[in-house]
Structure 1
Amino acid sequence: MPPNPRIGSHDHATLSRFDPLSRIICLDDFDRGFCGWTQLVGNYEDDLDAMLPGYAQHSSPMLSTIGNWDSGSHGGVDGDYVLKIATPPRAGAQNVAIKRLTFRQPGPIRLEAYVTFKPEASELRLSETDIRSFGFLFDLQGSDQAGPGSERVMPHVRFLNASDGKHVQKWQFKRQAVPIVPIGTDNKTISHYHLAPDGWEDLEGGEQRLCYNEIPTKINWHYLRFDFDLAAMQCTHFQCNDRVFDVSGFDSLRIPAMKNLWCMLNIAFFAETDTDKRAFLYLDSVCLSGDF
C-alpha cells in the first residue's frame, strides 16, 4: 500500500502490523483517545429502569496505561494508552465497548486487533482461570433497498477461557436467537440481551492455548483477524495469532431486520469474569478495512 501523506509516521507503524483490505475504514490507536468507542447502553424509553439487566451492568470503557503495583505501567504495543474494558467484580458479570458505523457498500470487510486479557491483580497468584471469556461481535443490517426477508445479522465470537474455575480455552460462536422484549409503550423500541451465557457453540477445532504470563501483572498481546462478507452475510476467515480456524460451520445470530437500523456496521468487544473479581480486556489497536 503506497504511503498516504495525511497519515503520520505513528499511524504508518500501527498500520504495518495489520494486513488490511484495500480501503481502511478506521484505524484506532488508543494513544489518540477513544476513537469513537463507547459504552454499550441498553435500550430504554421514558425510564432508565426499562433497560434489560444485562445492559444495566455495563460501564464506559477507559483509557489506561495498564497500571499495576509491581512495575508501574505496562502501556501498549508501542505507546502509552490502551482501551480497557472492565467488568463489575461479580461472577458472570460482563462489560462491552462498541463502535457504531454504517457501510457504504456491502462487500468484504476485515476486523483486526491486538488484545490481551487479565483479571484484576488483587492477589499474589496467577489467577489464570478468573476470566471466564472475552470476545467480539458485529451487529449488521442490510440496506433499506434489500427488500423482503432482510435480516439483522450478529456474528459473535468468544474465547471461553474458564468455567467455574476450570480451564477450558476454546473458541465459540453463537447463532441462537434470544427473546426480543418490547421497551416502552410507543412501539418504537425493542431490546434483546444477546450476550447471555446460553446458546454458545464450539468452533470446530477451536481449542487454543493462549499466552498467559507467569505472574498476575504480566501481559502479552494477541493478534485477532475476522473476515466477513456483507453481501452474503457470512464469515470467511477467523485467525488468532498463528492459528487459522475452520469457519465452514460458523453461523451468526439472525433476527428480522429492524425498521431504523439500515446499513448498520457496529463492532463490539466484551469481557466476562468467572469470579467476584474484575476482568479486564485491553485493546491496543483496532483496524477495520474493506474491499469496496
Structure 2
Amino acid sequence: MTKPNAYMEHLVAMDQDLCKYRPLSRIICHDDFDKGMCGWMDLHPNYVGKNFNTLRYSQVDKTQWGPVMLSSASFRLAGTHGSMNGTYSLKLSTRPIANGYTEAPAPGSLSHGIKRLTTHLPEGRRQFEMWYAYTPEQDREGLSEESVRAFGVFFDIQDEAHRYFIGARYLNAVNGKAVKRWQVFRAADVTDLEWAYGVENDWCKRGIDAMWYGRRRPDGSTDGFEWVPGGSQELCYNESDDKINWNYLRLLIDTKTRTYVELQSGNTVFDLRGMAPTLTAPYAKIKGLFNPGIWVENDQNRRVFFYVDSVVISGE
C-alpha cells in the first residue's frame, strides 16, 4: 500500500473532486469529463499510405473500433444516470459484433480511448486512477453481465531504450462463461509472427498492443497477458443491465525500474512487485511517449459500454 507523500501531507486545500483519489505528489492531469473530452479520443490506424490508406495489411482491423464520446449514461428504462459527479462521463462503445475468444478480435468488437502525452518528469513512479462503470446495451431480456469480455487500463511508454505497454486487464467472461480475474501486460516467449496471428511484416511487434494481439486460449490465458496472483475478484454489477455502479481503479508503476508496483480495485490491493512488462525496441518518432489508455471488449454480438467519470494521472 502506498503511503501519503510529503506533498499530500502538507496540502492545505484540495479540489473536492480530487478527494475521491489518492494522487502522487505531481498531478499530470485531472480529467473531469463534465469539462469536455480532455484530450481523450478513439484510436485510429496510421493513415499515411496512398489515398490515406494504411501502409501494411494486419489481421486486426482498427478502422472499425467503436467510438469514444461524452455521455449522460441514458438507458431505455432507467432514464439518465449522469456521471458519478456531474452529468457527463467518457463513454466507450463497441459495435454489435464479436468473434469467439480464441479468434482474433472482430472489427468493432473493441472500443479504445487514448490520451496522447509525452513525459516531462524524471523517471520514477506513475499512477493511473479512475472511477468507471460498465454494462451491455439493454437490448434484450435478462441479466447480461457476461456479454462484457474484458476491459482495462495501460500506459504506452517509450523511453531512451525501450517501448513497452504496462497495464492491467479485467477478464470478465470467455465465450459467455464468467472468469472475473485480473491480468497484467506481459508477453509470452513467442515470435513476432505468432504475435501478429501469422501475418508477415506486421507493424506490431511482440509485447505491443496486447489488447488485440497475441494468441488466446479457452481458459482465458493469452500470449499477451499474465495472471495476477490471487487476482480473482467479483465486481459490483447490480441486478439489471440498465443500472450502473461506479468502481474505483488505481494502477501504480515505476518507470525507472520498468516494473509494476500495485493494482487497487475497489478496496482490494494486489501487490504486483516483481512483475514486469515486455520490453521492445523503440519505434521511430515517438521518443518520450507517455500515453494512458483504456479499452473495453465485448463477448457476444451486442454493444457493450464502458463509462469513465474522471481520470487522474500523477507522478513523482
Q: TM-score, normalised by structure 2?
A: 0.81
Q: What is the RMSD computed on CA atoms of the aligned residues?
A: 1.9
Aligned amino acid, residue 78 of structure 1: N
Do 1:101 and 1:264's aligned partners in 2 also have CA atoms closer than 8 Å? Answer: yes
- The residue aligned with 2:133 is 116
2:29 to 26, 29, 46: 26
Task: State the distance in 2 between where 1:35 and 1:56 align.
Answer: 23
1:282 to 307, 312, 316: 307
Structure 1 stretch displaced more, 159-168 or 53-62:
53-62
Q: Higher strand proportion, which one?
A: 1
Shift of 1:60: 3.2
Shift of 1:235: 1.2
Q: Secondary structure at the match of 2:286?
A: coil
Do 2:150 and 2:171's aligned partners in 1 also have CA atoms closer than 8 Å? Answer: yes
Structure 1 pair 35/90, CA: closer, same or farther in 2 (3 Å)? same
Structure 1 stretch displaced more, 57-66 or 233-242:
57-66
Query: Runs (4+) of structure 1 moved beyond 6 Å?
Result: none
- The residue aligned with 2:43 is 40
- The residue aligned with 1:69 is 76
In the alignment, structure 1 residue 94 sits paired with structure 2 residue 110? yes
Shift of 1:49: 4.8
| Structure 1: runs of 5 or more not aligned | 5-11, 184-189
Task: State the distance in 2 between where 1:277 and 1:54 align.
Answer: 18
Shift of 1:268: 0.6
Aligned amino acid, residue 102 of structure 1: T
Structure 1 pair 15/167, CA: closer, same or farther in 2 (3 Å)? same
Do 1:58 and 1:94's aligned partners in 2 also have CA atoms closer than 8 Å? Answer: yes
Q: Secondary structure at the match of 2:296?
A: strand
Shift of 1:25: 0.4
Do 2:72 and 2:81's aligned partners in 1 also have CA atoms closer than 8 Å? Answer: yes
Task: State the distance in 2 between where 1:181 and 1:101 align.
Answer: 30
Aligned amino acid, residue 152 of structure 1: R
Q: Secondary structure at the match of 1:129?
A: helix
Do 1:124 and 1:216's aligned partners in 2 also have CA atoms closer than 8 Å? Answer: no
Aligned amino acid, residue 177 of structure 2: K
Aligned residues: 272
In the alignment, structure 1 residue 217 sits paired with structure 2 residue 238? no
Task: State the distance in 1 between where 2:61 and 2:171 align.
Answer: 19
Q: How does 1:113-192 map to 2 (within 5 A)?
A: 113-142=130-159, 146=160, 150-176=161-187, 178-179=195-196, 190-191=203-204
- The residue aligned with 1:8 is none
Task: State the distance in 1 between where 2:61 and 2:125 align.
Answer: 31
Q: Secondary structure at the match of 1:16?
A: helix
Q: TM-score, normalised by structure 1?
A: 0.87
Do 2:112 and 2:293's aligned partners in 1 also have CA atoms closer than 8 Å? Answer: yes
1:3 to 3, 13, 16: 13
Task: State the distance in 1 between where 2:30 and 2:165 align.
Answer: 22
1:241 to 255, 261, 266: 266
1:273 to 270, 281, 298: 298
- The residue aligned with 1:9 is none
Do 1:181 and 1:191's aligned partners in 2 also have CA atoms closer than 8 Å? Answer: no
In the alignment, structure 1 residue 231 sits paired with structure 2 residue 272? no
Do 1:226 and 1:237's aligned partners in 2 also have CA atoms closer than 8 Å? Answer: yes
Do 1:57 and 1:95's aligned partners in 2 also have CA atoms closer than 8 Å? Answer: no
Shift of 1:249: 4.8
Q: Secondary structure at the match of 1:213?
A: coil
- The residue aligned with 1:186 is none
Shift of 1:95: 1.3
Shift of 1:15: 0.7
Shift of 1:119: 0.6
Task: State the distance in 2 between where 1:240 and 1:101 align.
Answer: 25
Aligned amino acid, residue 29 of structure 2: C
- The residue aligned with 1:264 is 289
